[in-house]
Structure 1
Amino acid sequence: MGSPLVAHLRTGTVEYRVTGPESSPHPPVLFVHGVAVDGRMWEPVAALLAAAGYRSVLPTLPLGAHHIPWGPAHDRSPRGAAALVRELVTELGLTDATLVGCDTGGAICQFALDADPDFVGRVVFTNCDAFDQFPPQPFRLIFALLRRRRLLRPLIAGPMQVRALRHSPICLGLLVTNPDAEYTRSVFEPLRTDPAIRDDFVAFLDAIDRTELAGTTPRLSRLTIPVSVVWGADDKAFRPELGRRLAAVFGQATFTAVPGARTFVALDRPQAVVDAVVAGA
């Protein structure tokens, strides 16, 4: 996919990759990931979309697996990340894009849509935070531990370097059926090696307020753009009932349960995400 491009925005500096034909008859696709992963988690979906003639933008947001610090001069909160996504859409001319969100990225998408319900053309939510599930257990406890600055580096430099622990049911094994060892190792490298990245990460986690999302999700009933909800049916954290409840907010949204998939549907069943994007375009 080549070296990442860099967008220097008022709300922060973000790396992103682009895949698919430069000229496409289809709306572009913009992917939004969650904490402690990067834009590479969407590559299986983006590759399938490229083969179908779609152009995709895969940013790595400053949520812990990034390489360019966000910095305290910026709003390092979920709403600050949402503002960054909206500014990236404007900067890259993606106003007709299909926005695809996962995990914490789904909450960021909701905050972005709350600020401007028409900043993209359509939305696909995969398993993500919604209402007061921000985050759901066991991640509420895990985030509480990671917010402790004195514990963060030892946790990342110690247990997270052990594949069995990274892939355990209380870590990434809860999110994806068959984690890739090199990917799961590499996403933690910025947190392990760069104190500025750790500072960004803790600032973002500190700013998470589940009451704020609880008030935001129901307000999205005013959206008039197409919405699809594609939910991994085997998710033990973001359970299918949460996905159905999210879909019900939008009235005309489609809900698709995906057997054999957990939170990262894009990795477990990428074709399901592709189908939702193509159907809504």
Structure 2
Amino acid sequence: MTSQEALGAQHLLPLAQGTLRYYDRGEPGARPVVFVHGVLTNALLWRKVVPTVADAGFRCLAPDLPLGSHTTPMRPDADLSAPAVATLLGDFLTALDLEDAILVANDTGGAITQLLLARYPDRVGKVVLTPSDSFEYFFPPIFRPLPKIARIPGSMSVLGQLLRIRALYRLPLLFGWVAKRPLPPAIAEEYLGKLRKSKGVRRDLRKFLRTVHSRHTLAAAEKLRQFNQPVLLVWPPEEKLFPISLAHRLAAVLPDAELVEVPDSYTFVSEDQPDALAGHIKRFAAAMAD
């Protein structure tokens, strides 16, 4: 089974902002679990988790958001600011008529999910947040120059060419601090190759990066105080980019939050500890059904 096959059937969904590719695995009528990735990754981030969760009786959906590793560029006039990508995720839920959805998010996808919860919480039944941007960490310090770099003409083309150099992949600025062990080369290429090859993908990423600012996540955090659905925080104690103190702060803000620690992992818990993450998702999702 290929990594894509593990995610299920591939579909293309026309939305106002453009065409969104997503994967769908599980029974159509089952409770939906929507997996939300971050910048310079795509649905493949969840390839080790989706099969286990789908086999437990859930419908797993994993969209490729326009964050630099997507296949189909959005419309040239599409608003892809951070709040607008949260709206795009909400439009995805609405277009597929997904109600009482369980959102599972990581990295930048966690910030997008928080913005969604602050603005359009109605279709969300619960949330699982793995290490994610939050509060003043949007981006974390090591990536904070990116929004300024994205404003420089041609910067995304330069970045795309630099990503040809595989020796850079294990540096903290790429995958060195998000996964404890090297990513499979084919997966790294799926994440980074599209930016190098597609002008439209570079345009979409530039639009998003230019708008990244902690004011969005700080404002969302205040509104999360009114989000009364259950939230599970799955966080490694040795996380480098998003220290576990952020998880404790989120737990203090959210009315119904549980924090569990997963050892031997960095940001990509779905990569480093997929079985542990899938187990926590299944337990938490089943508890909601009681």
Shorter-chain TM band:
over 0.9
Task: Give aligned pairs, total.
Answer: 278
Shift in Å, 1:188? 1.4
Q: Is 1:17 equivalent to 2:57 in the alignment?
A: no
CA distance in 1, matches of 2:17, 2:230: 27
Shift in Å, 1:213? 1.5
Within the candidate set 171, 175, 178, 1:175 is matched to: 178
Report if aligned partners of 2:224, 2:253 keep a CA contact under 8 Å in 1. Answer: yes
Shift in Å, 1:59? 0.4
The structure 1 segments of at least 4 consecutive aligned residues displaced by more than 6 Å after TM superposition are: none
| Structure 2 residue aligned with 1:217 | 221
Q: Is 1:7 equivalent to 2:13 in the alignment?
A: yes
Shift in Å, 1:154? 2.5
Within the candidate set 231, 235, 249, 1:231 is matched to: 235
Shift in Å, 1:21? 3.4
CA distance in 2, matches of 1:103, 1:86: 18
Deviations 1:9-52 (Å, cap 9, x if unpaired)?
1233210011123454xx21001100111011111110111222
| SS state at 2:57 partner | coil
Moved more, 209-218 or 138-147: 138-147
| Structure 2 residue aligned with 1:165 | 168
CA distance in 1, matches of 2:82, 2:19: 16
| Structure 2 residue aligned with 1:251 | 255
Q: Which runs of 5+ in 1 are unaligned?
A: none
Q: 1:157 to 1:166 in 2, by over 3 A?
A: same
Q: What one-letter code is carried by the residue in structure 2 that aligns with 1:6? A: L
1:43-122 aligned within 5 A: 43-122=47-126
Shift in Å, 1:170? 2.7
TM-score, reference length from structure 1: 0.93
Report if aligned partners of 1:5, 1:15 keep a CA contact under 8 Å in 2. Answer: yes
Within the candidate set 176, 186, 189, 2:190 is matched to: 186
Deviations 1:228-251 (Å, cap 9, x if unpaired)?
111122211111111111121113
Report if aligned partners of 2:229, 2:256 keep a CA contact under 8 Å in 1. Answer: no
Shift in Å, 1:147? 4.6
Q: 1:87 to 1:185 in 2, by over 3 A?
A: same
Deviations 1:214-261 (Å, cap 9, x if unpaired)?
111121010111111111222111111111111211132000111111
Q: What one-letter code is carried by the residue in structure 1 that aligns with 2:223? A: R
RMSD: 1.7
Report if aligned partners of 1:228, 1:255 keep a CA contact under 8 Å in 2. Answer: yes
CA distance in 1, matches of 2:249, 2:206: 30
| Structure 1 residue aligned with 2:40 | 36
| Structure 1 residue aligned with 2:288 | none
Shift in Å, 1:127? 0.4
| SS state at 2:141 partner | coil
| SS state at 1:217 partner | helix
CA distance in 1, matches of 2:82, 2:280: 25
CA distance in 1, matches of 2:178, 2:242: 9
Identity rate, percent: 34
Moved more, 215-224 or 137-146: 137-146
Report if aligned partners of 2:37, 2:43 keep a CA contact under 8 Å in 1. Answer: yes
| SS state at 1:233 partner | coil
Report if aligned partners of 1:98, 1:277 keep a CA contact under 8 Å in 2. Answer: no
CA distance in 1, matches of 2:66, 2:173: 23
Shift in Å, 1:143? 4.8
Shift in Å, 1:176? 0.9
CA distance in 2, matches of 1:214, 1:175: 23
CA distance in 1, matches of 2:239, 2:150: 22
Shift in Å, 1:3? 5.8
